[in-house]
């Protein structure tokens, strides 16, 4: 075995030194919030498949104060995912040419955020319609 101990620069907290990378780490971490919510939803689907008693137990569990607080945190994470997803859309998407000119990034992000808000409200309206 080699006795060499080459110097390896530590990576601890490298991203904390630059606000750009702090934001990057926060927006990357939103995936964990989305995943956590989807797991809760997956449990709900499994419980729905098990019958009425199991489904009602799941609904009851969601009423606990801890669950509501967790969902407020998840909501913040999910909203930030939406915001950051569309903020980087001008970079991740091929350039949109309108009238021979490249569409400004702010216009693209702004339009996408309006579409996202409309999609959310449409979903709420649909749920409302099903409920009545």
Partner 1 sequence: MTKILKRSNAPIFWGLFGAGGMLSALFVPMMVFITGIAIPLGFLLPAGTMSYPKMLAFAQNFIGKGFIFAIISLSLWFAAHRVYHSLHEFGIHAGTGAKLLCYGIALAGTVVSASVLLRIGF
The CA-based diameter of the chain, rounded to the nearest angstrom, is: 74
Which DSSP symbol is given to 7?
-
Closest distance of CB 100 from partner 1, Å: 27
**H or E segment to which residue 102 belongs:** strand 101-102
Residue 48 vs 104, nearer CB to partner 1: 48
Return the structure tokens found at 36: 């956590």
Closest distance of CB 5 from partner 1, Å: 17
- Say if CB 120 and CB 83 are below 8 A apart: no
Residue 88 vs 104, nearer CB to partner 1: 88
Q: Report the interface residues with partner 1, using CB under 8 A.
A: 11, 15, 25, 28-29, 31-32, 34-35, 37-42, 44-46, 48-49, 52, 55-56, 59, 62-63, 67-68, 70-72, 74-75, 78-79, 81-82, 85-86, 92, 115-116, 119-121, 123-124, 127-128, 130-132
Residue 59 vs 107, nearer CB to partner 1: 59
Residue burial 1-31, b: 16+ Cβ < 10 Å; e: rest: eeeeeeeeeeeeeebeeeeeeeeeeebeebe
């Amino acid at each position: 075995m080699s006795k060499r101990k080459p110097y390896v620069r530590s990576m601890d907290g490298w991203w904390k030194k630059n606000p750009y990378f702090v934001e990057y780490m926060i927006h990357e971490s939103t995936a964990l919030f989305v995943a956590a919510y989807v797991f809760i939803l997956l449990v709900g689907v499994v419980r729905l498949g098990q019958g009425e008693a199991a489904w009602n137990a799941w609904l009851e569990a969601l009423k606990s104060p801890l669950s509501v607080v967790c969902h407020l945190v998840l909501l913040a994470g999910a909203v930030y995912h939406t915001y950051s997803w569309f903020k980087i859309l001008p970079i991740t998407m091929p350039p949109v040419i309108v009238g021979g000119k490249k569409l400004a990034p702010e216009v693209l992000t702004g339009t996408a955020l309006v579409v996202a808000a409309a999609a959310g409200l449409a979903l709420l309206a649909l749920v409302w319609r099903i409920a009545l």
